């Protein structure tokens, strides 16, 4: 049940006032660049009853980078930020029999999470070549109509769609007078996890999301993991057991490594409460920033652990990040 984000900022001394998030801006060449010194982590805290805790202070937390405690340079409670949601709908031939499920799940997510006049969402399909079907809008009825018009067919370029979806989120509209850090960016992937056409690798797609600070939630359309009592001579789905296939594991990796959640539902009804919980999580989070000390700035993976000085509390955040070796790293090409 996570939400986590990292960013890295420049070699210059940090500004005196806490920033609201990581700055990611396009340069003159059209590439989107970020600085590489400050690690910015977004996280959520739950109590022993699995309820969100949103009133803690900076002194309640400790952050560790590769098990070395770090000084928290910046801290803020980020509540009720506008959402920018990218919805990736798998319309390839492999999900033909589950397309209606996908459409219902996508619609339910939007109506449970998106608020008119504040949040925005776009729709991108996943088949031979990812295509932006509907640009950012807060018109949920129109989005639902567009979703219901989609038809299945073709191959699956899932990794390309994730990569392109992250690029689109980096260009998301900001509130009047606001900047990118003033919104929460989320990618929702509804798919069976198969990929047979992408030019980008899975690692490249995930790295794009991690560098851009985008949280991915995945909803698997696979039902291979279902074992039913029908096999024992009954007709009830009372004995369910997880047997994740390769596609399920891909979906899980995208979510866990980006700080999101993976869902493996059988019925759309299984998702209603989860979608409401996601909306609450995205609007009740903390952000802290630290300058890593104790290891070199290299391309290796560095673990992040956040502890809280309060009994029974659990912190949900991403597990780590890949450090960069240059001061300004291009992470996306603009159209």
Mean pLDDT check: name the lowest of 34-38, 186-190, 209-213, 281-285: 34-38
> Per-residue pLDDT tens for 306-324?
999 988 999 988 888 877 6
CA–CA distance, 115 with 120 (Å, rounded to integer): 8
- The verdict on 197 and 311 lying in the same domain is no
* Position 16 in a domain: no
> Per-residue pLDDT tens for 98-107?
999 999 999 9
The percentage of the chain sitting over the pLDDT mark of 90, rounded to a whole number, equals 53
Query: Is-contact 34 211, C-beta < 8 A?
Result: yes
pTM equals: 0.78
H/E segment holding residue 135: strand 131-137
Mean pLDDT check: name the lowest of 22-26, 110-114, 138-142, 193-197: 22-26
- The verdict on 215 and 306 lying in the same domain is no
- Report pLDDT for 20: 36
* Position 187 in a domain: yes
H/E segment holding residue 161: helix 158-170
Number of domains in the chain: 2
pLDDT at 191 over 50: yes
- The verdict on 322 and 232 lying in the same domain is no
> Per-residue pLDDT tens for 117-153?
999 999 999 999 999 999 999 999 999 999 999 999 9
- Report pLDDT for 50: 85
Is the dihedral angle over the CA atoms 275, 80, 307, 206 positive or is it negative? positive
CATH code for the domain in which residue 314 is found: 2.60.40
Query: 297, 291, 261, 267: which is closest to 63 by C-alpha?
Result: 291
- The verdict on 171 and 301 lying in the same domain is no
pLDDT at 17 over 60: no
- Report pLDDT for 156: 95
* Position 293 in a domain: yes
Mean pLDDT check: name the lowest of 185-194, 230-239, 249-258: 230-239
* Position 14 in a domain: no
- The verdict on 69 and 180 lying in the same domain is no
The percentage of the chain sitting over the pLDDT mark of 70, rounded to a whole number, equals 78
Q: Which residue has the higher pLDDT, 72 or 295?
A: 72
Q: How far is CA 263 from CA 53, 175, 213, 277, 332, in A?
A: 23, 30, 21, 13, 28
pLDDT at 111 over 90: yes
Cα–Cα–Cα angle for 85, 249, 106, rounded to 5 degrees: 30
H/E segment holding residue 252: helix 246-258
- The verdict on 267 and 231 lying in the same domain is yes
Confidence of residue 225 (pLDDT cuts 50, 70, 90): low
* Position 5 in a domain: no
Burial bucket for residue 224 (CB in 10 Å: 0-12, 13-18, 19+):
middle
- The verdict on 124 and 273 lying in the same domain is yes
- Report pLDDT for 277: 84
Strands 301-308 and 284-290 turn out to be unpaired
* Position 100 in a domain: yes
* Position 139 in a domain: yes
- Report pLDDT for 181: 66
- The verdict on 275 and 289 lying in the same domain is no
- The verdict on 266 and 292 lying in the same domain is no
- The verdict on 130 and 273 lying in the same domain is yes
pLDDT at 39 over 50: yes
Query: Is-contact 311 106, C-beta < 8 A?
Result: no
pLDDT at 256 over 90: no
pLDDT at 329 over 50: no
CA–CA distance, 10 with 13 (Å, rounded to integer): 8
- The verdict on 47 and 145 lying in the same domain is no
What is the CB-side half-sphere exposure of residue 226 using CA atoms within 13 A? 15
Mean pLDDT check: name the lowest of 14-23, 96-105, 162-171, 182-191: 14-23
Q: Which residue has the higher pLDDT, 271 or 213?
A: 271
H/E segment holding residue 305: strand 301-308
Is the dihedral angle over the CA atoms 197, 32, 168, 287 positive or is it negative? positive
Q: How many residues does the chain have?
A: 335
* Position 206 in a domain: yes
Strands 262-263 and 215-220 turn out to be parallel
Query: Is-contact 225 264, C-beta < 8 A?
Result: yes
- The verdict on 91 and 46 lying in the same domain is no
> Residue 270: which domain range?
83-281
Helix, strand or coil for residue 250? helix
Q: What is the chain's mean pLDDT, rounded?
A: 81
Q: Which residue has the higher pLDDT, 17 or 192?
A: 192
CATH code for the domain in which residue 200 is found: 3.40.50.410
Query: Is-contact 57 305, C-beta < 8 A?
Result: no
Burial bucket for residue 43 (CB in 10 Å: 0-12, 13-18, 19+):
buried
Alpha helices in 61-192 (DSSP H): 99-113, 140-148, 158-170
CA–CA distance, 26 with 132 (Å, rounded to integer): 21
Query: 117, 109, 113, 149: which is closest to 133 by C-alpha?
Result: 149
Structural tokens at position 241: 């057991």
CA–CA distance, 103 with 148 (Å, rounded to integer): 6
H/E segment holding residue 142: helix 140-148
pLDDT at 255 over 80: yes
Query: Is-contact 159 201, C-beta < 8 A?
Result: yes
């Amino acid at each position: 049940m996570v939400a986590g984000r990292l960013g890295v900022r420049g070699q210059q001394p940090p500004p005196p006032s806490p920033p609201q998030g990581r700055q990611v801006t396009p340069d003159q060449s059209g590439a989107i660049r970020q600085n590489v010194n400050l690690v910015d982590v977004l996280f959520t805290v739950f109590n022993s009853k699995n309820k969100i805790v949103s009133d803690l202070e900076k002194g309640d937390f400790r952050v560790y980078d590769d098990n070395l405690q770090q000084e928290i340079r910046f801290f803020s409670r980020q509540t009720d930020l506008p959402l920018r949601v990218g919805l990736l709908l798998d319309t390839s031939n492999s999900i033909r029999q589950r397309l209606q499920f996908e459409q219902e799940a996508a619609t339910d997510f939007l109506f449970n999470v998106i608020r008119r006049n504040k949040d925005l969402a776009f729709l991108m399909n996943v088949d031979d070549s990812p295509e932006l079907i509907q640009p950012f809008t807060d018109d949920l009825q129109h989005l639902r109509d567009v979703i219901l018009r989609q038809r299945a067919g073709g191959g699956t370029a899932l990794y390309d769609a994730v990569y392109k979806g992250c690029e689109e989120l980096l260009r998301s509209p900001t509130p009047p007078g606001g900047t990118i850090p003033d919104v929460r960016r989320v990618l929702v992937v509804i798919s069976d996890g198969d990929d047979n056409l992408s030019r980008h690798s899975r690692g490249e797609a995930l790295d794009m999301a991690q560098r851009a600070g985008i949280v991915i939630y995945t909803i698997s359309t696979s039902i291979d993991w279902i074992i039913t009592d029908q096999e024992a001579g009954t007709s009830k789905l009372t004995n369910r057991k997880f047997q994740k296939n390769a596609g399920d594991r891909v979906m899980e990796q995208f979510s866990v490594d980006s700080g999101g959640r993976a869902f493996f539902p059988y019925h759309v009804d299984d998702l209603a409460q989860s979608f409401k919980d996601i909306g609450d999580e995205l609007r009740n989070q903390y952000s802290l920033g630290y300058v890593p000390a104790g290891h070199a700035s290299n391309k290796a993976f560095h673990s992040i652990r956040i502890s809280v000085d309060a009994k029974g509390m659990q912190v949900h955040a991403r597990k780590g990040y890949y450090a960069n070796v240059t001061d300004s790293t291009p992470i996306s090409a603009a159209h």
